[in-house]
Every structure is written in structure tokens, then in C-alpha cells.
């Protein structure tokens, strides 16, 4: 078999066989197939697509390209959640403790941020002392003891995705539905949870820009998960404006702490309550989503969800004094308000522009080798639907960059805002649930 023939076959839109897909993935992971051929194949897939059968085979081949986790030493129904990425998305930090406080078992492997999207691991690492490198027995013991762990993926888990994702990132082949589905689901399946809840984001700050493509991706991933024996459901959530108010690592941790103490932004809390309710039903801990939501609300109100968060931070070596007193987090040197240049109801805050601006302020990385300034980012003062007068504060930037640099970024931030003279209807962050 020759890789070039498979590329041509896919370029012609012909379905690849199981043997051909496995030949590609095995050869690519062990170095026999070079980046340029794999890249050409990914581009052919981006243009010609894949059938459901091909996508399932690709997912399975990627899942088994390295070691898979066996969570059988962890008691109970293990439930995992994965978001396809967004701006200000600190959901895992809030949702994990909420679900664990209700008796759920959350053994979660998370990722790092790249480009305009943030990553849960980076956010957690803004807490001094905290490690995300917990593997094997330590991971199992922590989940068995407190019902919650958020760790980084080990090097040997789904090596095919590590190579393919890095290649997609630099060859313009990220936005392919079968490639995203196989990337996400191979990691979720290899991580060993019994139940999976997917949060497929849609809008300006997401990979999926419209509902049709978000629905197609969500349905495809749910089908793959179910076919491979996992209880899989998906939410489609809005990512046209950033989620919550804070964007940037320690700024988001502080917002997560406030949320677990009952002071969360309404869009973030709605997403956490909806996702958490589905996860508790998937775990068999609640009969229906109404009962589950009540349990989640109670555990936020009585402080148990916050307690779980503290237990996780301590178990992973984090300095708990920062959680008890978030004013201890190091502040950026420059904290600069950004003022409205127009009057009206805010009709749009482009999440992509805010995410890229936060990255440029130091809060994100352009390449995986970049280091992050944990204190950098943006805190919104207003959201879509709010009325502002000229000169009102729209948001505040936090940065250690020099004045010339941040002044240019402020102009980009201002370009993210649109205004309307008419009142804007508030729409729910939850667009659809796919079961
Ligand atoms: N998240 C992933 O893990 N993979 C993708 O391809 C896109 C988002």
C-alpha cells in the first residue's frame, strides 16, 4: 500500500477502507509516513469529508495509537466532560466540583490553550504549587477519595492526536468536522470514562460558526461514542460573546471561585447547571434533570461545591491560601479601563477578537512553546444587551506589556463591540441538547 494512492483516492472523494485508514495512522505515528503526506491527507479530508464509517474507524485507530486508561480501580460511574473550546470558558473548574459535591465521579483529563482559546490546565497552573501531572495510582486514589481530579494527558495517550493536531494547527486543517470529531472522541474514549458529555460551542469564538455545523459535529460525536459503548450526550452552547466576564488564566480562576461561592455570572452558571444535571443523570445519581439541578443548586448554596474545589486544589499540591483569599494572586503591572466610544445597547462582543486580544496581552500562547503570563487578560464590565453611555467602562485589561503595545490592543478590543439603538433580546447560552 502507498500513502500517495490513498491521498489521491480521498482527493477524488472515494471512501477509504478500514485497512487504508489504519495504514495511514499507524505509519504516521511510527514515523514511516511523513508530515507532508499526512497533511495532504488532512487537507483532502477537509475538502471531501469522511463518511460516518470512515470517521468511526479513524477515531478507533487514533484511540488505540497509544496506551488507553483503565479506570476500573475507581469506584462508581466515571463521567467526563469536554468542550470544543472557547473564550472565557472556565466551565470545568466550576462544573467538576459541583458534580463531585453531588456524589458524581469526575476523572478528567484536560488540555492546554492554543490561539484564542484558553485551556483548563493553564488556568489551574496559575494557582501556585498546583500540579496537573498526576498519573496512575495517585490519580486513582485522588478520585476515589474526593470524587474529582483534573489532570494533563500523559504523553503516551493518543499520540496520533498530538501529532495530527499540531500539524492541523499550522496547515489550515482544524475546521474539519470528521477530523475534530475523531480528535475529541479518540481522547475521550482513551481516557476511560463510562459517560461523556460534550459541550460543542458555536459562534464567533468557536470552531463551529453556525448551528448547522455545530449540530452535525455534536450528532456525529454522540453517535461515535454510543457505537463504541459509552453513554454520550452533547450540549450546543453559545460562544458568540465570551463566557462569563473574565478572560485570562488567574482572572478566570478568581471568577470560578466566586461562582462556586454563589456569585457566578448567569451564562456560566446556566451552562454549568445544564451540563451538571445531564452528568448526574448519566451517572445514575438523579432520576431526571430537574432533580439533578436542585441537587446542584443546593450544593453550591451550602458551600459543598466550593469545599470540593478546595479539596482538589490541596490534593494536587496547590496553595489553598490563594483560594481562600484570591486577592493574593499576583496582579499585572498595568490595569487599564477601556471606555465605550458610542452610546447604545451592546449588540455584539466578538469572542474571537477578545480571545486574540487577551492572548496578545500575554494571557495565551501562539505556539505550544510560548510561555503564558498568568495575570494577563481582560475582564468585561458589560455583556450583550447592556446599555452603555459614551465613556462608560466596557472592560478592563490586565497586562505586563508596554504602553505602546497595549494601546494598539485596546483599539482591537474596541472593534469587537457593536451597538444598537434598540433593546437586544437576551438569548440563552444553551442552544440545544443532543441525546
Ligand atoms: N478540540 C480538540 O480536542 N480537537 C479538535 O480538533 C478541536 C477541538
Compute the average pLDDT of residues 171-187. 92
Q: What is the DSSP string of 215-251?
A: HHHHHHHHHHHHHTT-EEEEEEEE-SS-SSSEESHHH
How far apart are the C-alpha atoms of 35 and 45, rounded to whole Å?
15
Secondary structure E strands in 368-416: 377-380, 387-388, 393-399
For the question of residue 82 being annotated catalytic, the response is yes
For the question of residue 183 being annotated catalytic, the response is yes
How far apart are the C-alpha atoms of 33 and 373, rounded to whole Å?
37
The pLDDT assigned to 243 comes to 96
Name all residues whose Cβ lies below 6 A of ligand 1.
84-85, 165, 180, 183-184, 207
Using the predicted structure, report yes or no on whether residue 134 has a pLDDT greater than 70. Answer: yes
In this structure, the number of other CB atoms found within 10 A of the CB of residue 392 comes to: 14
For ligand 1, what atom is nearest to the CA of residue 111? 3
Q: How confident is the model at residue 13 (pLDDT cuts 50, 70, 90)?
A: very high
Of 257-261, 266-270, 304-308, 422-426, which gets the smallest average pLDDT?
A: 422-426
Using the predicted structure, report yes or no on whether residue 48 has a pLDDT greater than 90. Answer: yes
Helix, strand or coil for residue 398?
strand
CA-based nearest residue to 418, from 342, 358, 354: 342
How far apart are the C-alpha atoms of 381 and 379, rounded to whole Å?
6
Residue-wise pLDDT tens digits, 333-351: 999 999 999 999 999 999 9
* pLDDT, mean over the chain: 94
Pocket test for ligand 1, best of 45, 174, 188 (most atoms within 8 A of CB): 174
For ligand 1, what atom is nearest to the CA of residue 168? 6
Residues 6+ apart with CB under 8 A from 129: 317, 318, 319
Nearest protein Cα to ligand 1, atom 8? 84
SS3 content of the chain, % helix, strand, coil (to 5): 50, 15, 35
Q: How confident is the model at residue 217 (pLDDT cuts 50, 70, 90)?
A: very high
How far apart are the C-alpha atoms of 223 and 217, rounded to whole Å?
10
Nearest protein Cα to ligand 1, atom 6? 180
The rounded Å distance from CA 341 to ligand 1 centre is 36
Using the predicted structure, report yes or no on whether residue 388 has a pLDDT greater than 70. Answer: yes
How far apart are the C-alpha atoms of 33 and 81, rounded to whole Å?
33
39 in Cβ contact with 173 (< 8 Å): yes
Q: What is the CA radius of gyration of the chain?
A: 21
Q: How confident is the model at residue 371 (pLDDT cuts 50, 70, 90)?
A: confident
How far apart are the C-alpha atoms of 134 and 142, rounded to whole Å?
9
Q: How confident is the model at residue 114 (pLDDT cuts 50, 70, 90)?
A: low
180 in Cβ contact with 198 (< 8 Å): no
237 in Cβ contact with 201 (< 8 Å): yes
The rounded Å distance from CA 19 to ligand 1 centre is 25
Using the predicted structure, report yes or no on whether residue 77 has a pLDDT greater than 90. Answer: yes
Using the predicted structure, report yes or no on whether residue 427 has a pLDDT greater than 80. Answer: yes
Using the predicted structure, report yes or no on whether residue 416 has a pLDDT greater than 70. Answer: yes
Secondary structure E strands in 44-191: 79-83, 106-110, 148-152
247 in Cβ contact with 378 (< 8 Å): yes
How far apart are the C-alpha atoms of 354 and 88, rounded to whole Å?
9
* Cα-based angle 287, 215, 367 (whole degrees, multiple of 5): 105
Q: How confident is the model at residue 368 (pLDDT cuts 50, 70, 90)?
A: low
How far apart are the C-alpha atoms of 184 and 84, rounded to whole Å?
8
The pLDDT assigned to 18 comes to 97
151 in Cβ contact with 134 (< 8 Å): yes
The rounded Å distance from CA 82 to ligand 1 centre is 10
376 in Cβ contact with 400 (< 8 Å): yes
CA 305, 307, 309, 311 torsion: positive or negative? negative
The pLDDT assigned to 44 comes to 98
Q: What is the DSSP string of 130-161?
A: ------HHHHHHHHHHHSEEEEEPPTTB-HHH
CA-based nearest residue to 71, from 159, 157, 184: 157
Compute the average pLDDT of residues 225-245. 95
Q: If you search the block for the grid coordinates 480501580, which residue do you land on?
A: 73
How far apart are the C-alpha atoms of 425 and 408, rounded to whole Å?
32
Nearest protein Cα to ligand 1, atom 7? 180
Q: How confident is the model at residue 302 (pLDDT cuts 50, 70, 90)?
A: very high
| Cell numbers at 291, concatenated | 432533580
Amino acid at each position: 500500500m502507498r500513502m500517495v494512492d490513498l491521498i489521491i483516492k480521498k482527493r477524488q472523494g472515494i471512501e477509504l477502507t478500514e485497512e487504508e485508514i489504519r495504514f495511514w495512522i499507524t505509519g504516521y505515528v511510527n514515523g514511516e509516513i511523513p508530515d507532508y503526506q499526512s497533511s495532504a491527507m488532512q487537507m483532502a479530508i477537509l475538502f471531501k469529508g469522511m463518511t460516518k464509517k470512515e470517521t468511526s474507524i479513524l477515531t478507533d485507530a487514533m484511540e488505540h495509537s497509544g496506551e488507553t486508561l483503565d479506570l476500573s480501580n475507581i469506584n462508581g460511574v466515571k463521567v467526563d466532560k469536554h468542550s470544543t473550546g472557547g473564550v472565557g470558558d472556565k466551565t470545568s473548574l466550576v462544573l467538576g466540583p459541583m458534580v463531585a459535591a453531588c456524589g458524581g465521579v469526575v476523572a478528567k483529563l484536560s488540555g492546554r490553550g492554543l490561539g484564542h482559546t484558553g485551556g483548563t490546565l493553564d488556568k489551574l497552573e496559575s494557582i501556585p504549587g498546583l500540579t496537573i501531572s498526576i498519573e496512575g495510582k495517585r490519580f486513582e486514589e485522588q478520585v476515589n477519595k474526593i470524587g474529582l481530579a483534573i489532570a494533563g494527558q500523559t504523553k503516551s495517550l493518543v499520540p496520533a492526536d498530538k501529532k495530527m493536531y499540531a500539524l492541523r494547527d499550522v496547515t489550515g486543517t482544524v475546521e474539519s468536522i470528521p477530523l475534530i470529531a475523531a480528535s475529541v472522541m479518540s481522547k475521550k474514549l482513551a481516557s476511560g470514562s463510562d459517560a461523556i458529555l460534550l459541550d460543542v460551542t458555536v459562534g464567533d469564538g468557536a470552531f463551529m460558526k453556525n448551528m448547522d455545523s455545530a449540530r452535525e459535529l455534536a450528532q456525529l460525536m454522540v453517535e461515535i461514542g454510543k457505537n463504541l459503548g459509552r453513554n454520550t450526550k452533547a450540549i450546543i452552547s453559545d460562544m458568540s460573546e465570551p463566557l462569563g466576564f473574565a478572560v485570562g488564566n488567574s482572572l478566570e480562576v478568581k471568577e470560578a471561585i466566586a461562582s462556586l461561592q454563589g456569585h457566578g455570572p448567569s451564562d456560566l452558571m446556566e451552562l454549568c447547571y445544564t451540563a451538571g444535571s445531564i452528568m448526574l443523570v448519566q451517572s445514575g445519581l438523579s432520576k431526571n434533570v430537574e432533580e439533578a439541578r436542585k441537587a446542584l443548586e443546593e450544593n453550591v448554596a451550602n458551600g459543598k461545591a466550593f469545599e470540593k474545589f478546595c479539596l482538589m486544589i490541596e490534593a494536587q499540591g496547590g496553595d489553598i491560601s490563594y483560594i481562600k483569599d484570591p486577592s493574593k494572586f499576583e496582579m499585572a503591572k498595568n490595569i487599564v479601563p477601556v471606555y465605550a466610544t458610542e452610546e447604545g445597547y451592546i449588540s455584539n462582543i466578538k469572542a474571537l477578537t477578545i480571545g486574540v486580544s487577551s492572548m496578545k496581552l500575554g494571557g495565551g500562547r501562539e505556539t505550544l512553546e510560548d510561555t503564558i503570563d498568568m495575570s494577563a487578560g481582560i475582564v468585561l464590565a458589560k455583556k450583550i444587551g447592556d446599555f452603555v453611555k459614551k465613556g462608560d467602562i466596557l472592560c478592563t485589561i490586565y497586562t505586563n506589556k508596554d504602553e505602546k503595545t497595549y494601546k494598539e490592543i485596546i483599539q482591537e478590543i474596541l472593534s469587537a463591540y457593536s451597538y444598537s439603538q434598540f433593546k437586544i433580546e437576551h438569548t440563552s447560552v444553551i442552544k440545544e441538547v443532543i441525546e
